[in-house]
Structure 1
């Protein structure tokens, strides 16, 4: 299993979004701790394989965040499997996982699998729409989900996902208080070093995604901002 315990900053690349080779090189050689490959819509085996093959030219660790069975590609350092804890559609909580194990159980490299407890916090995001995520109404509710993930389910990663909008620090901080040995990822809406720094003061790992495609220089500036920030 890949050691993510010391990751402070990662970039998330979407297989369904084009990225020029020069831009990809700068991202992969930026000093980020890892590249996460994943997305919600338009992710296929072919575009995942193509992106992985390009990232593999660089020394940075590369993991796949599994979004659908058809896009699982061998060759990643590890596979992060999300479990959306606040999904309103029960068929997306465990049904896909059961189907995958039923079909491919004997081929699954369990030593490379890491389960993530996902808390979807932006009701306007694609992932919220797909999972029919229940809206998080308070830090106390968010903390209860974090306790469920870390104490009841013993999941090693808890991911606070705002996907496209910058999150509420109090929500993230409440989740951090419930980690109990688990690792907190934050992702969503980071467009500047100051925002990256703000979340790096709370979370174990800050994930930077969409800004890569809108302003690569701003994305690159988040690496140093996070790496030079200590949690409070």
Structure 2
């Protein structure tokens, strides 16, 4: 997967927009958000996508994100938080309550490093965002070699990150996939980050400039003869 759209259940997208996203060239969708998450909105958004053959990931940041019928769940583990409930506390509590019913084969953990101090996610998780390139590279190594996480997610949450930092983190990863999200608002930025990230995540621009969002996916669209 080179490109994923991230859709927020708290924000509305017309049905005709969903159809455009499905045929844009994207490799799939993440449904996820930070606040104002409600089960009925999550279900409605999931159902609007479910007929596509593209994968749909539910990012479980809240109980409202748990739909038993979903095929793929992402479990965020925030590596640069100063409050360990976001690395293991909430996870342990959920497993204690629901461990017998969790479809583990459909669950993928992702090691998050949140890098925009103004982002809601950074504030909620009490993330330490004032990090050097060396700090982030160390987190990447931690994700792969200590925690054996399948995904290392560099999340700039609405701001465009430093490609050289993404390149440096990518350079120390062999098995763990690097996902990049944050501030991609053009096909040029999509191409730039895709040189280093295994997967780029495009979210906010969907609600600000749909045509620009579609262009970020079109560069990956497979040509048909």
TM-score by length of 2: 0.95
Counterpart of 2:150 in structure 1 is 156
Q: Distance in 2 between matches of 1:220 and 1:183?
A: 24
Report the aligned-residue RMSD.
1.3
**Correspondence 1:11-50 to 2 at 5 A:** 11-50=5-44
Q: Determine which of 176, 198, 205 is the counterpart of 2:192.
A: 198
Distance 1:227 1:22, change over 3 A: closer
Counterpart of 1:10 in structure 2 is 4
1:143-187 CA deviation, whole Å, 9 max, x = no partner?
Answer: 000011110000000000001100111221121112121111000
Contact 2:26–2:220 (CA under 8 A) maintained in structure 1: no
Deviation at 1:58, TM superposition (A): 2.2
Matched, 1:124 2:94: no
**Correspondence 1:81-160 to 2 at 5 A:** 81-160=75-154
SS, match of residue 219 in structure 2: helix
Q: Distance in 1 between matches of 2:142 and 2:52?
A: 37
Deviation at 1:70, TM superposition (A): 3.4
Q: Distance in 1 between matches of 2:64 and 2:90?
A: 11
Matched, 1:74 2:56: no
Deviation at 1:139, TM superposition (A): 0.9
Gap regions ≥5 residues in structure 1: 1-6
Q: Determine which of 171, 175, 188 is the counterpart of 2:169.
A: 175
* Runs of 4 or more above 3 Å deviation: none
1:164-221 CA deviation, whole Å, 9 max, x = no partner?
Answer: 1001112211211121211110001111111111101110001100111111110000
Deviation at 1:19, TM superposition (A): 0.3
Contact 2:58–2:65 (CA under 8 A) maintained in structure 1: no
SS, match of residue 159 in structure 2: coil
Aligned length: 222
Gap regions ≥5 residues in structure 2: none
Give the stretch that moved more between structures: 157-166 or 39-48: 39-48
TM-score by length of 1: 0.92
SS, match of residue 109 in structure 2: strand
Deviation at 1:110, TM superposition (A): 0.4
Q: Distance in 2 between matches of 1:227 and 1:158?
A: 24
SS, match of residue 106 in structure 1: helix
Counterpart of 2:206 in structure 1 is 212
